[in-house]
């Protein structure tokens, strides 16, 4: 895994150098950067509930950290709604770094 990370870092640094001297357009560099972002997995109702409980947060507190409503968190945990876009990214951050990363 470390080898892959070093290789990707080197590749990114080379692309950035090429962009700095004008051999790669800013748009191409943005696309290159976006391609290197990790994929965000979908979260099931049980995974969201489990994550919230691991954070020892009520639905209202969890919702406040995620900048959403308690009813939205309730619907996610029941499976009536599914998080998307920025909410998925925030859930991923909380899973990897803890709730305090959003404080």
CATH fold of 45-102, please?
434 Repressor (Amino-terminal Domain) (1.10.260)
Q: Report pTM.
A: 0.69
For 18-65, give the DSSP string: HHHTTSS-HHHHHHHHHHTSPPPPP--HHHHHHHHHHTT--HHHHHHH
Return the structure tokens found at 24. Answer: 């790669």
- Tens digit of each residue's pLDDT, the chain (103 residues): 455 678 778 888 888 888 899 998 988 888 888 777 777 899 999 999 999 999 999 999 999 999 999 999 999 999 999 999 999 999 999 999 999 999 8
Spatial contact of 26 and 33, defined as CB atoms under 8 Å apart: no
């Amino acid at each position: 895994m470390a080898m892959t990370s070093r290789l990707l870092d080197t590749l990114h640094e080379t692309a950035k150098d090429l962009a700095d001297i004008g051999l790669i357009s800013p748009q191409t560099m943005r696309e290159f950067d976006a391609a290197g972002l990790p994929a965000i997995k979908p979260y099931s109702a049980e995974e969201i509930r489990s994550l919230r409980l691991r954070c020892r947060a009520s639905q209202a507190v969890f919702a406040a950290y995620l900048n959403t409503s308690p009813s939205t968190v309730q619907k996610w945990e029941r499976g009536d709604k599914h998080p998307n876009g920025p909410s998925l990214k925030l859930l991923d951050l909380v899973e990897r770094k803890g709730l305090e990363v959003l404080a």
